[in-house]
Structure 1
Amino acid sequence: METIIALASSLGLATATGLNAYLPLLTVSVLSRLGLIQLGEPFDLLSHPITMIVLVILAIVDFIGDKVPAVDSVLHIIGLVISPIAGAIVALAASSDIVAIHPAVVAGAAIIAAAGTQSARTSIRPAVTAATGGTANSFVSFLEDALSFVLSLLSIFLPVLAFVIALILAFVAFRFIRGAVRVWREANPRRNGVSRVR
């Protein structure tokens, strides 16, 4: 049972990094520093003061930049690399005491969860920008940050609930990405080997 709970916690945190790469790491860092959670080596470095300062700076830069149209697109592209890495780190930190599951399996699952969530986020934002002229970007970004923070806390204190939410997010992301691909194919028939009849 402890293995399942730890794995649920890991995947919940990894999914949260897909919404915001730095908040889950910062949340784990602060909670560890406060003594509310225990991190095994070498992940206890997350609670080091220098690590915390760096994470605070990155979180602030990301929080502000993601509210600005065009800048958010650049941050999302960078996030396609950063989020899976952050997801793997925070998932391994949360599951460092799991013996039954190999760390490579945890890291692999975390990378998939974080990358999938980040990919969906990256796909959704241009649609929001186009539909609202960028006016809704700040609101959507704030919702992503809030969900990332809440999911991080749930992953630590109520991991099973966090895992259920992560599954729901994964399903929504899959449906959206599949729909976006279908729309793109319909809008670009020549690139898919289909020519329109005039």
Structure 2
Amino acid sequence: MLEILTGAGLTTSAGLNAFIPMFALGLLDRFTNLVNLPEAWAWFSSDVSLWVVGVLLVLEVVADKIPGVDAMNDAVQTVVRPAAGGITFASGIGTETTTVRDPDALFAGGAWVPIAIGAAIALVVHLAKAGTRVGANTVTVGTAAPVLSTAEDVSAAALTLTALFLPVLVAVLVVAVVVGLWLLARRFRARRTRGRAAAAPGGSEWTA
């Protein structure tokens, strides 16, 4: 069960930022004894992978905070984040950590299954994130982009660390992320509706 929670936390994190969980897994496997990746995913911690993912992480963090650029980034990430989610879910359920000492073999014999599950979860989270960002940028003329992006990065990092070291809390954080995205989307959608009503002929700023 802990293995599934670890994988779910990592893939949800990837739906917010594709490279945070991948970079964290690689660094922790390479430089600590806290995480031991399964052999199939050991390439995460190679020099080339760490440098490539590290550079992509910096680009993602910067691009996601620039109004307009964040929309183009989200379009590209529609492919990248689900792929990262599939990879991190598959690696997460087989990773030995300080809390997971006997990685589950639940998906043994069907290597594609965890990848597909992780990709689906990450895609749903990504679409919710991207949709919320569009609404926020429309209502705030892009000023909300850096604030929301920073909150998403912090959430992704928190989910990654929790998934690896305290997976029993992953479900709580995943629910918090989903509810948070839903509330934000609802708030910005309501503000946009009021703005359109106020701009309509005969409308006013007091139009509900």
Is this a same-fold pair by TM over 0.5? yes
Aligned with residue 149 of structure 2, among 141, 152, 155: 141
Aligned with residue 131 of structure 1, among 136, 139, 153: 139
Q: Give 1:40 shift.
A: 1.0
Kindly tell me the number of residue pairs found equivalent between the two proteins.
Answer: 180
One-letter identity of the residue aligned with 1:46: F
One-letter identity of the residue aligned with 1:6: E
TM-score for both structures, normalised by structure 1: 0.83
Gaps of 5+ in 1: 188-198
TM-score for both structures, normalised by structure 2: 0.79
One-letter identity of the residue aligned with 1:67: K
1:150 aligns with 2:147: no
CA contact (8 A) 1:46 1:52 kept: yes
Gaps of 5+ in 2: 95-102, 197-208
Q: Give 1:165 shift.
A: 1.6
CA contact (8 A) 1:12 1:155 kept: yes
Q: Deviations over 1:77-118 (max 9, x none)?
A: 111111110011111111124212344332222112100110
CA contact (8 A) 1:13 1:90 kept: yes
What is the CA–CA distance in structure 1 between the aligned matches of 2:37 and 2:13, rounded to whole Å? 18
Q: Deviations over 1:15-46 (max 9, x none)?
A: 00011001110011111112320011220100
Q: Give 1:175 shift.
A: 7.5
Give the aligned partner of residue 64 of structure 1.
Answer: 62
Aligned with residue 85 of structure 1, among 67, 74, 83: 83
What is the CA–CA distance in structure 2 between the aligned matches of 1:167 and 1:41, rounded to whole Å? 31
Q: Deviations over 1:105-152 (max 9, x none)?
A: 322221121001100011011111111111111011011011101110
RMSD (CA atoms): 2.2
Give the aligned partner of residue 73 of structure 2.
Answer: 75
Report % sequence identity: 26
CA contact (8 A) 1:7 1:106 kept: no
